[in-house]
Structure 1
Amino acid sequence: MSSGDVPRTPGGQGPTAATSPEPVRVLLVEDDDADALLVDEQLRDAGVTVELRRARSLAEALGSLGRSDVECVLLDLGLPDSFGLAAVEQLRQVAERAPVPPALVVLTGHTGVDQGVQAVAAGADDYLVKGEIESDLLGRSLRYALQRRRSVAQQRALYRSEVRAAETARLERALLPKPLVQDGKVSVMVGYLPGGNGLLGGDFFDTVERPDGTVLSVIGDVAGHGPDEAALGATLRTAWRTLVLTDTPAERVLPLLERVLLTERSRPEIFVTLCQVAVSPGRDHAQVALAGHPAPMLLTGPVGDVRCEVLPDDARGRALGIPVEGGWDAHRVELDGPFALMLYTDGLVEAEVDPEGLAVELPRRRGVPRLGVEGLHALVSEELAREGIEGVVERVLRRVRRLHGGPLTDDAALLVVGWTGRDTKILGTRSSTLADSDEWART
C-alpha cells in the first residue's frame, strides 16, 4: 500500500507513460540480498530505466549520499545499524545539503499504515509495504517521488532568485545616497540607469556641503559591471564622503581615494574614472578635477531660458588605478548667478542610438552611431528648451533609453548640482531617480 496523500491514476500509469532517456540514479538501502534482487526486477518490469546502487547499512548510505548525485533513495526501515524513523531523519538531513535533494521512498515490513504515515511526516516522499509491492506500484511511486522533489527544487531556486533580486535592489539603492546639503538654494538631482538588463553596476555619486559652505560633488565609474564592481563603487563613495566630512583638502581627495582603490580592488586591471566638483562658498566659481572622466556641462541662465555648454577637458588627468605618471589639476570655472553643473558617466555618451532622434551628426563606432558628448549636449539643450530644468535628470535618462531602444549596454549615472541665485527666494530641487521599476521597463 502507499500513503493516502499520493494520487494514483488507473491503468498502472504514473505521471507519464514515457520513460526518461537518461537512467534514474537510485540508491537502494537494503541489507537483504533477496529483497534487493526483487526490487531490481520490479523496477525493470515497471519500465523504469535506473542506475541502481546499493548500500547495506545506514552508515554506508550516508556516505554514498555525500559522494554521489543520487536522485532517489529506496530505504528499508529495518537495517543492521538503524531501526525505524531514525534512518529517515538522518538520511533527509544529509540529503538536504545537496543542491537538488533526492527523493526518499520508504520500504516497510509493517502491513499497517501507521509507520508509513509517520515516515512521510518525518520527511519521506512515499512509502511501500514489502510483500504488497507490485512492479507498476513501485514504478509509479518512484516517478511521483521524483516529480515532487524536482518541484521542490524549482520552488527553492525561484525563492533564492527572488531573495537575490531583492538584496541586489537594496544594494543598488545604497548607490543613491542622500545628499548632505544645508543650503536650501542648492539643487541636487541624481539618477541611475542600470545597463545590461541588470541591477548592479559600478557607477557612484555623492554631494556633501562642508561647514564653510563649500559644496563638493563626485561622480565615478568603476570599469566593469556586476556585484564586485558595485561593491567597489559603494566602497569608494563611502571613502569619498569620509574624506570630505573630515575636511580633507579637495586637491588631496583624489590621491587618497586612489589608495583606497588600490587596496580594495579585486584585480589589478580595474580602474576608475571620476569627476569631482567643488563649488565655492560664495557660489562664484567651481574647481573641476577630472580623472579620465568626461567633463561636466554647465547650465546657466534664468528659469525659462537655461543654456547648456560643455566645459573644457584640457586639464583631464589619468584614471585612478592606472600605473602611469601624472596627477590631477583642477580647472577653475567662473560662475555668475543661477547655474547648474551636470555630471554624468560614459554609459550615456556610449549609448548606441537612432541617428534620426537628434538634429546633429552623431559619431560612429564600428559603423554604429553612438550618442557622444555632442549628441548628449544637443539632447540636454532640447530638453531644457522644451520643459526647463525641472525634472531634467529623469527626462534625459528616459530620452537616451528611448533613443537606444531599450536598456543600455552600460550603466549610466547623472548628477546635477545647481544654485538658484542670490537675489531670489526660489529653493533648490532635490530628486532621486532609480530606473529599475516595471514602469521604466515599459518605456
Structure 2
Amino acid sequence: MSAAWHGAEQPPGTAQGAEGREGVPADAAKRPPVALPRQRQDPCPPTDAAPAAPAASFTLLVVGDDPSGAFTAPYFQEPGSPRIRVLRARNLTAAARLLGDEVHCVLLDLPDVLGSLHQVLRLAPAAAVLVLTDGPDEAAAAEAVRLGAQEHLAREEVDAGTVTRAVRYAIERKRADLAQRQLSETRLLAQENRRLERGLLPTPLLEGASGLRFAARYRPGRSRALLGGDFYDTVRTPDGTVHAMIGDVCGHGPDAAALGVELRIAWRALTFAGLGGEELLRTLQDVLVHERADEEVFATLCVVDIAPDSRSAELHLAGHPAPMLAVPGRPPALLPYDEGGPALGLLPDVSWTRVPVRLEPGWCLMLYTDGLIEGRIGQGTQRLGQDGMVAIAARHLADGLAGEELLDAVLTEVRELNEGELTDDVAVVLLERRA
C-alpha cells in the first residue's frame, strides 16, 4: 500500500524516554534517530510539576514523496502548541483513501502542485491546504493561495515550530473562510426568501372604489420570516362589489405559509370568476383538502362582500373570529358570529350561513386573525380576547385615529400588554368609508 499512517495514537508498550517525550516506543533506544530538520525536542518537565493538560491535536496529511525526509516523524509539536499528527500518502490516489473528517490539513509536495490543488479542494473542501515549495518561489506560492490554498511553506524552513504554526494558522484561516462563505450564502438565501415572500404578499385591487380607504398590517410569528400561515386579500369586481377576506392556516412554518398563499390566490381567482358565498367556500375547502400535507390541517376564513353602494354587506365565517364594525355615534362592536360555520377542512359535508350586515355612513370595518387577540395581559395567563381588542380600538377611534395610524396604535398597545412580541402570526385589514 502506497500510504501509511505514522500518526496513530500510542500503542501499548510505549513509555517516556530519556529525552522526556511522550509516545516513544519502549525499544526506541535500539532504533536509529529520525532525520528531521531542526525538529524541537520537548523539555523534560520537573518531577514536582502538575501534569499539563493535553493540547489539542490536528492531523496533517502529507501528499508526495518527501525526498528530504522532512516529514518522517510521527508528529510535530511545540511546547504549549497543538500536536500535529502526520499521515503520509505518495500520490493523490492514496490520499483520496485517507481524506476524511479526521484530516484537518493537507500539505502538497508534488511536482504539479497547482494541478493537484484543484483535486484536493474537490476531495476535501473542508480541509485546510498548504503547499510545499523549493526555495523562495513566491509566484507559485501566490498562485496557489489565489486558487484556494491557505498558506505555503518553504522546504528549508521545515521544523517543529514552523510546521506547527503553519498548520495551526492554515486551519484557522480555513475555518474563517468557511464561516464567511456560510454567512454570505445565508445572507443571499435570506434575501432571496424575502424577495419571494414579498412577492407573495397581496396587492389590493380596489381601482374604482372611490372613497374607500384600505390599510393592512401583517407580521408572521416565525423569526426572520416575512410570511406566515395568515393570509388576506381585497379586490373589487367589475360590478362594483368590494370583496375582502382574511384567513389563518393552523400551524406554523413554511408549509402553513405556502398553503395560505395557495388559498389566497384561489380565492382571488374564484372571486373574479363570479363565485361567492357557500359555493366559494366549498371550492376553497376542496383546494385545501387536495393541497394540505396532513389530514389534520385546517384553515379558518372570514369573507365580507360589500355592496357597490357601500350601505350593506354579506358576511361568511368559517371558524374565524368575527370582524369589528364601528360607526359614528356608537361604540365599536363585533359582527354576529353565532351562525358561522366550521373551519375549512374539518367536515366533508357542511354549510355556511350568509349573515347580512347593515353599513351606516362613516363605517369602519376591521378584519383580523386570532394572533391579535391571543396575546397575554402581563405575566399572568389572562388573554386579551375580542372584548379587550374592541376596547383598545374604541379608545383610539375616539382619539380620531384612522387607517394605518389606527392599526399601528392598536398593534403597539397589544404588544405592550403582552410585554413583548406576539408569538403567533398576526394579520389585520381595515376598510373605511368615512362620512
Q: TM-score range by the shorter chain?
A: 0.7 to 0.9
Report SS of the residue matched to 1:61. Answer: helix
1:106 positional shift: 1.2
Alpha-carbon distance in 1 for matches of 2:80, 2:235:
73
Residue 424 of structure 1 is matched in structure 2 by none
2:426 is equivalent to residue 412 of structure 1: yes
Report SS of the residue matched to 1:387. Answer: coil
Alpha-carbon distance in 1 for matches of 2:271, 2:89:
66
Greater than 6 Å deviation, 4+ residue runs? none
2:189 is equivalent to residue 152 of structure 1: no
1:198 positional shift: 3.9
1:400 positional shift: 0.9
1:389-404 equivalences under 5 Å are 389-390=402-403, 391-404=405-418
> Unmatched 5+ residue regions in structure 2?
1-39, 41-51
Contact 2:277 2:354 in 1 (8 A): no
1:287 positional shift: 1.3
1:206 positional shift: 0.4
1:48-197 equivalences under 5 Å are 48-50=82-84, 52-62=86-96, 64-65=98-99, 68=101, 70-78=103-111, 83-96=112-125, 101-109=126-134, 112-174=137-199, 176-181=201-206, 182-195=208-221, 197=223
The TM-score normalised by the length of structure 2 is 0.79
| Matched residue type, 1:405 | E
1:221-300 equivalences under 5 Å are 221-300=248-327
> Unmatched 5+ residue regions in structure 1?
1-10, 12-17, 356-366, 422-443
Q: Out of 358, 364, 379, which is 1:334 matched to?
A: 358
Alpha-carbon distance in 1 for matches of 2:295, 2:346:
9
| Matched residue type, 2:346 | I
Cα-to-partner distance string for 1:221-244 (whole Å, 9 max, x where unaligned)? 111222222222222211211111
Contact 2:127 2:174 in 1 (8 A): yes
Report SS of the residue matched to 1:38. Answer: coil
| Matched residue type, 2:351 | G
Instruction: Flag the 1:321–1:147 CA change in 2: closer, same or farther, 3 A.
Output: same
Alpha-carbon distance in 1 for matches of 2:55, 2:267:
59
Alpha-carbon distance in 2 for matches of 1:94, 1:164:
26
Larger RCO: 1 or 2 (CA < 8 Å, sep 6+) = 1
Q: Out of 226, 235, 238, which is 1:211 matched to?
A: 238
Contact 1:19 1:48 in 2 (8 A): no
Cα-to-partner distance string for 1:286-324 (whole Å, 9 max, x where unaligned)? 1111111101111112xxx56311112112211112245
Alpha-carbon distance in 2 for matches of 1:328, 1:51:
74
2:373 is equivalent to residue 349 of structure 1: yes
Residue 337 of structure 2 is matched in structure 1 by 313
Contact 1:277 1:286 in 2 (8 A): yes
Contact 1:220 1:274 in 2 (8 A): yes
Alpha-carbon distance in 2 for matches of 1:36, 1:248:
82
Report SS of the residue matched to 2:75. Answer: helix
The TM-score normalised by the length of structure 1 is 0.78
Alpha-carbon distance in 1 for matches of 2:130, 2:211:
71
Cα-to-partner distance string for 1:136-178 (whole Å, 9 max, x where unaligned)? 0001101111111111122123223322332343344345422
Instruction: Flag the 1:256–1:45 CA change in 2: closer, same or farther, 3 A.
Output: same
Contact 1:26 1:72 in 2 (8 A): yes
Alpha-carbon distance in 2 for matches of 1:311, 1:285:
13
Residue 44 of structure 2 is matched in structure 1 by none
Instruction: Flag the 1:20–1:247 CA change in 2: closer, same or farther, 3 A.
Output: farther
User: How many residues in Structure 1 have an aligned counterpart in Structure 2?
Assistant: 382
Report SS of the residue matched to 1:307. Answer: coil
Alpha-carbon distance in 2 for matches of 1:205, 1:310:
19
Alpha-carbon distance in 2 for matches of 1:207, 1:246:
15
1:325 positional shift: 4.4
Report SS of the residue matched to 1:369. Answer: coil
1:379 positional shift: 0.8
Contact 1:307 1:384 in 2 (8 A): no
Instruction: Flag the 1:51–1:38 CA change in 2: closer, same or farther, 3 A.
Output: closer
| Matched residue type, 1:40 | P
Contact 2:130 2:150 in 1 (8 A): yes
1:133 positional shift: 0.3
Instruction: Flag the 1:328–1:193 CA change in 2: closer, same or farther, 3 A.
Output: same
